[in-house]
Amino acid sequence: MPPTLLLRNGRVIDPSQQLDRVTDLWVSNGEIAGIGPQSRTADRTLDCTGMIVSPGLIDMHVHLREPGREEDETIATGTAAAVAGGVTSVACMPNTEPALDTRMAAEFVIQQAQRAGFCNVFPIGAVTKNREGKELAELGGLVEGGAVAFTDDGAPVYSAEIMRRALEYCKMLDRAVLVHAEILELTQGGVMNEGFVSMQLGLRGMPGIAEDIMIYRDMVLAELTGGRCHILHVSTAGGVDLIRQGRAKGIGISGEACPHHFILTDETLRAFDSNFKMSPPLRTQRDVDAILAGLKDGTLTVLATDHAPHAPEKKERELDQAPNGILGLETFLPLCVTFLIEPGHLTWPQMLEKMTINPAKVLGINRGTLQVGRPADVTVIDPKAQWVIDKNATKSKSRNTPFHGWKVTGRAVATIVGGDIKKNELN
């Protein structure tokens, strides 16, 4: 008999099977072995009284930087940060150097993740060779190597014709195309959202419509082809509206929200701190309210971080020289609890659905559920824990977070990946 682990007396929430009750969860042989009283004995017991027991969290939008930019992050440090944050699976973006655009590159990422031994990593392949937007990458070969979706994230797929063919091809492969929506002529040289604040600060802006126009383009291409597109990091009220309309028409479109886009606005740029610089940029309160509404009414089905580590010397440059993006993996859960659960925007099952089974569905991966027989990826959450985010306590190689010193609620206290306890603050 393989060793059996018992997670005793937690509030087990599994949106994939509409489960929400205080009970026991059993893990054996790397799989979920049972829920509720069982006629077996446990070799090890974690007392989860007062805790939430969830399917392992999935972050489907992560930049791990390896290969090519190991000064910012490696697969080992990024996945260590994931486990610390209660994330058991990440999907990693292909804007590495070289780009993740071949079967071998996908296999390399999976191999490095296995060597590191922290969490599951699902590579996302590039849509075009070297992400140059000129020629489709070998999408079929990438899938054989383990790629679960496609994107040129960091940049849009600029040619509508190539995007059309990518959607057609991905339809045959039953894979989604993940969209970084940006009309580059409109954002050229921009460092923040275009609006009242950018005008006052005299900084070059990036208008919200630069995002909306491309969301619309890819939505109608998805309609034409019958393919599936997933809009990454939705930041505008207009974008939320378009996705809502598309879904109502039955078009294959989904969208994700990142914590910074529903917590922060462009007002933060008044500090001229590059930790508030990202792409798409922080927008206005009106956009924040629209994203919250979209999360609430089910338009935005996925929560993800866009974890984007940059070495300190890069982020410390002047605002217009500094790269875009912030860390996400270790602040993901507490920020969502503090800004979605605490104010009453979402319930626990609604929030966890967007961090477990919904991203698993977009990627078509066998995760995000506590169904018996499935891989035992489990996150145990203390819903009441209050703590202070400390950028110096991160497992990431980088330190670029705007949330340093913020008081938050909710913490991953145990992270179990494939039945192995990777983090445990319980006992």
Residue 11 or 180: which CB sits closer to Zn ion?
Answer: 180
Q: Least distance (Å) from Zn ion to the CB of residue 304?
A: 9
Q: How many CB atoms neighbour CB 185 within 10 A?
A: 7
152 binds Zn ion (CB under 5 A): no
Nearest to 137 by CA among 108, 157, 109, 111: 157
Q: What type of residue sits at position 301?
A: T
- Using CB under 5 A as the binding rule, the residues of this chain from 320 to 379 that contact Zn ion are none
Stretch near Zn ion under the rule CB under 5 A, chosen from 38-46, 161-169, 299-307, 361-369:
299-307
Catalytic residue among 152, 306, 377, 382: 306
Nearer to Zn ion, 6 or 362 (CB): 362
| Interface region with Zn ion, contact rule CB under 5 A, candidates 9-17, 241-249, 303-311, 312-320 | 303-311
Site for Zn ion in 225-284 (CB under 5 A): none
Nearest approach in angstroms of CB 109 to Zn ion is 16
Q: Which stretch binds Zn ion (CB under 5 A): 179-187, 190-198, 290-298, 370-378?
A: 179-187
Q: Single out the segment in contact with Zn ion by CB under 5 A; choices: 240-248, 302-310, 377-385, 390-398.
A: 302-310
Please state the φ and ψ torsions of residue 133, each to the nearest 5 degrees: 80, 10
| Residue 306 makes contact with Zn ion by CB under 5 A | yes
Nearest to 275 by CA among 394, 398, 110, 145: 398
Q: How far is CA 146 from CA 56, 110, 127, 139, in A?
A: 20, 8, 15, 11
Catalytic, 306? Answer yes
Among 210, 221, 231, CA closest to 251: 221
Q: Is 420 left (phi over 0), alpha (psi -120 to 50) or beta?
A: beta
Residue 343 makes CB contacts below 8 A (sequence gap 6+) with none
- Of residues 248, 254, 114, 123, the one with CA closest to residue 178: 254
Residue 59 parent element (H or E): strand 57-62
Residue with smallest beta-carbon separation from Zn ion: 180
Total residues contacting Zn ion (rule CB under 5 A)?
Answer: 3
Distance CA 28, CA 342 (A): 34
**Amino acid occupying residue 222:** A
Q: Residue 88: what residue type?
A: T
In the chain, the amino acid numbered 295 is L
304/306 Cα distance (integer angstroms): 6
180 vs 422, beta carbon nearer Zn ion: 180
Q: What minimum distance in Å lies between the beta carbon of 385 and Zn ion?
A: 28
Question: Toward Zn ion, which CB reaches closer, 131 or 180?
Answer: 180
Length of the chain: 427
Which residue in 65, 131, 175, 180 binds Zn ion (CB under 5 A)? 180
Tell whether residue 307 is a contact of Zn ion (CB under 5 A): no
Taking the least distance from each CB to Zn ion, the nearer of 24 and 306 is: 306
Cβ closer to Zn ion: 53 or 87?
87
| Shortest spacing between CB 280 and Zn ion, in angstroms | 7
**8 A C-beta contact, residue 75 and residue 117:** no
Stretch that binds Zn ion, among 147-155, 168-176, 211-219, 411-419 (CB under 5 A): 147-155
Task: Determine if 72 is a binding residue for Zn ion (CB under 5 A).
Answer: no
Phi–psi pair at 215, nearest 5 degrees: -60, -45
Q: Give the closest residue to 180 by CA, choosing from 145, 156, 149.
A: 156
| Min dist. Cβ of residue 281 to Zn ion (A) | 11
Name, in order, each residue with C-beta under 8 angstroms of 158's C-beta and a sequence gap of 6 or more: 133, 184
Q: Which is nearer to Zn ion, 307 or 422 (CB)?
A: 307
**Nearer of residues 73 and 382 to Zn ion, judged by Cβ:** 73
Q: CA–CA distance from 289 to each of 223, 240, 318 (Å)?
A: 28, 10, 30
Query: How does DSSP classify residue 104?
Result: H
Is 153 near Zn ion (CB under 5 A)?
Answer: yes
**Whole-number minimum distance, CB 66 to Zn ion, in Å?**
15
Q: Of 41-49, 245-253, 304-312, 389-397, which part binds Zn ion (CB under 5 A)? A: 304-312
**Nearest distance from residue 295's CB to Zn ion, in Å?**
19
Q: Quote the least distance from Cβ 73 to Zn ion, whole Å.
A: 13
**Residues tagged active-site:** 306
Residues forming contacts to Zn ion in the complex (CB under 5 A) are 153, 180, 306
